[in-house]
């Protein structure tokens, strides 16, 4: 609501300002009596007009029998009449007998004229724009402001004569001549175009920014094309103002440059769009660029207004092709890339009408001041918003990746710590076993046991050696499983298929786990249906799955907790089910439990042996065998792992 009121107030202020200025301009007829230069005087009515050429018509008095009275502006009213060549306008104003020299120089503003003109005051040539001989040099964009020299002005009647040469059938005065203080007229002209000039330089500097950015970052895609699009539109906007007289000495070359810039804009924008959306160029776009390339080369050799009108017409005829290509991209990829196109579409909706208005104005179809800089300013703002959104999104993704990397580093650090702990524990047991072998305990009288004696001190040498062997074997499992997981992920694993008893494999696996953990669970149940079931599979992979699932059930539950192992064939699939009645897992844990280096919850994870790749290996193994692994659990309800593997029949 605040924004709406702000815009409304600004619009009202502009309209009020325009109204106040307009009320200060006095509209008069030729022959008016001027008593003061303090207010601008617009000469509108009773102009004398005549086609043809005679230098005597510049004089203060001529025979006006064959002259026609006109009101101005009269631009384009004689489209059916061929007025190519010379035609004249005459008007007069009266100064009082006590006329005194103006304090500030006075001038007359004639506006833009097609194509060449000479201005006479009381029969004296004051100034001119363009030339007919020896070489045709036109200028139909310069706003004519000609001084009214004080020494030529006189009391009584003063005569204005304008000699115009039209190179095409486009003629007339585009605005009513205005007499006022010269400095004010020129300042007003500069002020009216200041915003466009500033926009032009902003577009150029913005383009240079994107161009340097594309070079520094080594990306010559969308930034490269958008940079040149912005630079070209910046120069185009400057050339549409009186600033062209600063950039070029010759109007001909300035207008040729303006047309060349205009021809390049659709191709640059379409290429920016293709690069930004990572879309391949099609044959229609290539053909359109060839057409524009030919038009570009031909325009270099055109020097006359008629040829320029032809170029603009050919450009406008092909402009719908560019619009169609852009529309095709938006319809084809807009739905899936709406996030990357939203603000570009808004900016394009603001830009296209201004391009059409400028093109129609250049063809003299309508008489309207340049507006493309306004459209492109909005377009550039929308592009900036789009690129800013992409930048913010990229930064957000980068931060998320940083968080993931930090988390992964922590997990990897935990993995290395766990692995180091396992090796340290194994080396301590090996060292203890070696000490027991080197220094066997002496036979002494039985002593009363004390609570201060540790468990390791009560073990005999055989038990210590057996534990050391089991721990060495366990460390070997950890290394082998890490290598196996890498082979499965890189698809370099070489399987060895054979037929074996699944019941025997399960019991061997359980025995190895119990020896390593020092747990002999009485509440373990193993059920294989049938007991004598033999399967044709890869024993190494089946052993890995059983060992990790059963070991997890052991280390994450209390010794008194029941653990069951089931294996049976049903509907062409082997089912391996490991169930425990421990604390279970939350939904959050279940979502990440199969990820690498992620371990189940327990108050003291560091006390639990393992490296955090067991369940990841189980899932990778099941997938390698063409099966699946699933988990059913809830906090306080235990856990149930279900592995399904398709039955493999031994080849005859």
Residues 170 and 221 in one domain: no
Who has greater pLDDT, 613 or 450? 613
Residues 451-477 have a mean pLDDT of 58
Structure tokens belonging to residue 416 = 């290395």
Return the sign of the alpha-carbon dihedral for residues 427, 430, 432, 438. Answer: negative
Structure tokens belonging to residue 359 = 């093109």
Residues 495 and 620 in one domain: yes
Who has greater pLDDT, 424 or 240? 240
Residues 118 and 207 in one domain: no
Instruction: Report how far residue 204's alpha carbon sits from residue 151's, in angstroms, rounded to the nearest whole number.
Output: 45
3-state helix, strand, coil in the chain (%, to 5): 50, 20, 30
Q: Do residues 48 and 91 make contact, with C-beta atoms less than 8 angstroms apart? A: yes
Asked whether residue 314 carries a pLDDT value surpassing 90, the answer given is: yes
Summarised one tens digit per residue, pLDDT across range 329-378 is 888 876 777 767 777 778 878 877 887 787 677 666 666 666 777 887 88
Residue-level pLDDT at 604: 43
Within a domain: 444: no
167: Cβ–Cβ under 8 A, 6 or more apart, which residues? 84, 114, 115, 116, 136, 138, 304, 305, 306
Residues 204 and 256 in one domain: yes
Q: Do residues 41 and 28 make contact, with C-beta atoms less than 8 angstroms apart? A: yes
Who has greater pLDDT, 332 or 70? 70
Nearest partner of 34 among 118, 102, 123, 134, judged by Cα: 102
What's the pLDDT band for 475 if we cut at 50, 70, 90?
Answer: low
Residues 83 and 159 in one domain: yes
Place of tokens 């922590």: 410
What's the pLDDT band for 389 if we cut at 50, 70, 90?
Answer: low
**CATH number of domain containing 144:** 2.60.120.260
Nearest partner of 36 among 44, 48, 28, judged by Cα: 28
- Residue 420 phi/psi, 5° resolution? -65, -40
What's the pLDDT band for 240 if we cut at 50, 70, 90?
Answer: confident
Within a domain: 438: no
Who has greater pLDDT, 454 or 490? 490
Nearest partner of 371 among 551, 563, 193, judged by Cα: 193
8: helix, strand or coil: helix
Instruction: Report how far residue 248's alpha carbon sits from residue 200's, in angstroms, rounded to the nearest whole number.
Output: 16
Asked whether residue 455 carries a pLDDT value surpassing 60, the answer given is: no
Instruction: Report how far residue 404's alpha carbon sits from residue 10's, in angstroms, rounded to the nearest whole number.
Output: 50
Q: Do residues 72 and 109 make contact, with C-beta atoms less than 8 angstroms apart? A: no
Within a domain: 144: yes
Within a domain: 584: yes
Q: Do residues 619 and 645 make contact, with C-beta atoms less than 8 angstroms apart? A: no
Nearest partner of 366 among 378, 375, 354, judged by Cα: 354
Place of tokens 């009645």: 581
CB atoms closer than 10 angstroms to residue 622: 19
Residue-level pLDDT at 410: 64
Structure tokens belonging to residue 78 = 């004689």
440: Cβ–Cβ under 8 A, 6 or more apart, which residues? 461
**CATH number of domain containing 604:** 3.30.565.10
Residue-level pLDDT at 605: 41
Within a domain: 5: no
What's the pLDDT band for 395 if we cut at 50, 70, 90?
Answer: low
| Domain stop point among 176, 203, 222 | 176
Residue-level pLDDT at 466: 64
Nearest partner of 145 among 197, 193, 180, 95, judged by Cα: 180
Kindly state the helix (H) or strand (E) to which residue 55 belongs, with its residue range: none
Residues 102 and 230 in one domain: no
The angle at the Cα of 257, spanning 169 to 146, to the nearest 5 degrees, equals 60
Instruction: Report how far residue 423's alpha carbon sits from residue 444's, in angstroms, rounded to the nearest whole number.
Output: 34
Which of 332-336, 358-362, 492-496, 622-626 is least confident? 358-362
Residue-level pLDDT at 178: 95
Instruction: Report how far residue 609's alpha carbon sits from residue 630's, in angstroms, rounded to the nearest whole number.
Output: 23
Instruction: Report how far residue 111's alpha carbon sits from residue 179's, in angstroms, rounded to the nearest whole number.
Output: 12
What's the pLDDT band for 503 if we cut at 50, 70, 90?
Answer: very high
Within a domain: 37: yes
Nearest partner of 126 among 158, 153, 94, 149, judged by Cα: 149
Question: Using the 8-state DSSP alphabet, how is residue 606 labeled?
Answer: G
382: helix, strand or coil: helix
Within a domain: 17: no
Residues 124-138 have a mean pLDDT of 92
185: helix, strand or coil: helix
Between the CA of residue 311 and those of 63, 89, 116, what are the distances in Å?
42, 31, 21
58: Cβ–Cβ under 8 A, 6 or more apart, which residues? 120, 123, 125, 161, 163
Nearest partner of 572 among 652, 645, 630, judged by Cα: 645
Q: Do residues 415 and 479 make contact, with C-beta atoms less than 8 angstroms apart? A: no
Q: What average pLDDT is seen over the chain? A: 81
Residue-level pLDDT at 1: 34
The torsion of the CA quartet 234, 239, 244, 250, rounded to 10 degrees, works out to 130
Residues 187-197 have a mean pLDDT of 90
Give the pairing of strands 144-148 and 106-111: antiparallel
Residues 158 and 32 in one domain: yes
Kindly state the helix (H) or strand (E) to which residue 312 belongs, with its residue range: helix 305-333
Residue-level pLDDT at 9: 41
Percent share of the chain, pLDDT over 70: 76
Give the pairing of strands 41-45 and 26-29: parallel
Asked whether residue 127 carries a pLDDT value surpassing 70, the answer given is: yes
Instruction: Report how far residue 537's alpha carbon sits from residue 532's, in angstroms, rounded to the nearest whole number.
Output: 15
Summarised one tens digit per residue, pLDDT across range 35-56 is 888 899 999 999 999 999 999 9
Instruction: Report how far residue 558's alpha carbon sits from residue 550's, in angstroms, rounded to the nearest whole number.
Output: 13
| Domain stop point among 368, 399, 430 | 399
DSSP bridge pairs for 111: 144
Question: Using the 8-state DSSP alphabet, how is residue 604 labeled?
Answer: T
Residues 395 and 501 in one domain: no
Query: Helices in 76-221 by DSSP H: which ranges?
Result: 182-216
| Domain stop point among 399, 426, 456 | 399
Place of tokens 């025979």: 63
Summarised one tens digit per residue, pLDDT across range 535-559 is 999 999 999 899 889 988 888 888 8
Give the pairing of strands 32-33 and 85-95: parallel
What is 565-598 written as a DSSP string? EEEEEETTEEEEEEEE-SS---HHHHHHTTSTT-
Who has greater pLDDT, 631 or 613? 631
On the question of a cis peptide bond just before residue 73, with omega within 30 degrees of 0, the verdict is: yes
What's the pLDDT band for 30 if we cut at 50, 70, 90?
Answer: very high
Instruction: Report how far residue 590's alpha carbon sits from residue 605's, in angstroms, rounded to the nearest whole number.
Output: 17
Rg (CA), the chain: 46
Q: Do residues 618 and 593 make contact, with C-beta atoms less than 8 angstroms apart? A: no
Number of structural domains found in the chain: 3
Kindly give the interhelix angle for 338-362 and 372-438, rounded to the nearest 10 degrees. Answer: 160
What's the pLDDT band for 26 if we cut at 50, 70, 90?
Answer: confident
Which of 476-480, 579-583, 603-607 is least confident? 603-607
Buried b / exposed e over 408-442, threshold 16 CB at 10 Å, is eeebeebbeebbebbeeebeebbebbeebeeeeee
Residues 225 and 320 in one domain: yes
Asked whether residue 236 carries a pLDDT value surpassing 80, the answer given is: yes
Residues 45 and 156 in one domain: yes
Instruction: Report how far residue 5's alpha carbon sits from residue 441's, in angstroms, rounded to the nearest whole number.
Output: 98
Who has greater pLDDT, 381 or 70? 70
Structural domain boundaries enclosing 238: 190-399
Within a domain: 337: yes
Residues 157 and 240 in one domain: no
Residues 494 and 528 in one domain: yes
Who has greater pLDDT, 360 or 276? 276
């Amino acid at each position: 609501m605040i924004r709406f009121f702000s815009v409304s107030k600004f619009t009202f202020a502009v309209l009020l300002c325009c109204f106040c200025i307009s009320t200060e301009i006095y509209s008069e007829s030729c022959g008016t009596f001027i008593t003061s230069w303090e207010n601008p005087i617009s000469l509108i009515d009773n102009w004398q007009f005549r086609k043809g050429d005679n230098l005597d018509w510049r004089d203060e008095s001529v025979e006006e029998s064959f002259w026609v009275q006109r009101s101005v502006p009269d631009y384009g009213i004689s489209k059916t009449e061929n007025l190519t060549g010379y035609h004249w306008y005459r008007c007069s104003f009266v100064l009082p007998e006590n006329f005194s020299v103006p304090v500030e120089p006075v001038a007359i503003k004639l506006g833009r004229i097609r194509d060449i003109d000479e201005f006479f005051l009381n029969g004296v040539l004051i100034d001119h724009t363009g030339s007919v001989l020896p070489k045709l040099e036109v200028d139909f964009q310069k706003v004519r402001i000609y001084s009214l020299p004080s020494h030529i002005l006189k009391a009584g009647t003063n005569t204005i004569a304008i000699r115009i040469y039209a190179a095409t059938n486009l003629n007339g005065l585009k605005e009513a001549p205005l007499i006022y203080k010269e400095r004010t007229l020129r300042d007003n002209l500069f002020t009216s175009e200041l915003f466009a000039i500033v926009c032009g330089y902003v577009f150029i500097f913005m383009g240079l920014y994107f161009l340097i950015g594309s070079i520094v970052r080594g990306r010559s895609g969308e930034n490269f094309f958008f940079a040149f699009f912005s630079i070209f539109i910046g120069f185009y906007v400057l050339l549409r103002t009186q600033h062209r007289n600063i950039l070029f000495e010759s109007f001909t070359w300035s207008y040729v440059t303006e047309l060349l810039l205009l021809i390049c804009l659709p191709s640059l924008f379409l290429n920016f769009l293709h690069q930004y959306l990572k879309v391949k160029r099609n044959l229609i776009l290539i053909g359109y660029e060839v057409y524009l390339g030919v038009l570009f080369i031909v325009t270099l050799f055109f020097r006359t207004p008629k040829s320029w009108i032809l170029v603009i017409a050919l450009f406008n005829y092909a402009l719908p092709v560019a619009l169609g290509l852009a529309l095709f991209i938006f319809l084809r990829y807009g739905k899936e890339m709406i996030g990357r196109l939203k603000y570009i579409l808004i900016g394009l909706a603001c830009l296209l009408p201004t391009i059409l208005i400028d093109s129609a104005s250049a063809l003299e179809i309508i008489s309207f001041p340049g507006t493309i800089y306004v459209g492109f300013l909005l377009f550039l703002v929308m592009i900036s918003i789009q690129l800013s959104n992409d930048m913010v999104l990229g930064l957000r993704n980068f931060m998320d990746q940083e968080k993931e990397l930090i988390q992964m580093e922590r997990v990897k650090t935990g993995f290395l710590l766990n692995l180091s702990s396992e090796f340290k524990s194994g080396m301590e047991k090996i060292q203890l076993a070696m000490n027991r072998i080197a220094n066997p305990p002496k036979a002494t009288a039985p002593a009363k046991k004390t609570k201060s004696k540790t468990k390791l001190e009560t073990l005999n040498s055989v038990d210590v050696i057996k534990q050391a062997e089991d721990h060495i074997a366990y460390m070997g499992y950890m290394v082998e499983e890490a290598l196996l997981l890498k082979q499965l992920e890189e698809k370099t694993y070489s399987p060895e298929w054979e037929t074996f008893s699944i019941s025997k494999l399960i019991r061997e696996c359980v025995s190895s786990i119990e020896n390593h953990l020092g747990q002999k669970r009485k509440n373990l149940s193993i059920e294989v249906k049938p007991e004598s079931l033999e399967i044709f599979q890869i024993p190494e992979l089946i052993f890995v799955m059983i060992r990790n699932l059963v070991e997890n059930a052991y280390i994450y539950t209390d010794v008194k907790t029941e653990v069951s192992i089931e294996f049976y064939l049903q509907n062409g699939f082997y089912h391996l089910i490991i169930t425990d009645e421990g604390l279970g897992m939350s939904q959050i844990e279940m979502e990440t439990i199969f990820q690498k280096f992620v371990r189940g919850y327990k108050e003291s994870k560091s006390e639990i042996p393992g490296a955090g790749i067991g369940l990841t290996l189980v899932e990778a193994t099941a997938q390698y065998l063409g099966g699946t692994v699933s988990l059913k659990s809830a906090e306080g309800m235990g856990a149930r792992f279900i592995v399904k593997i398709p039955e493999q029949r031994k080849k005859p």
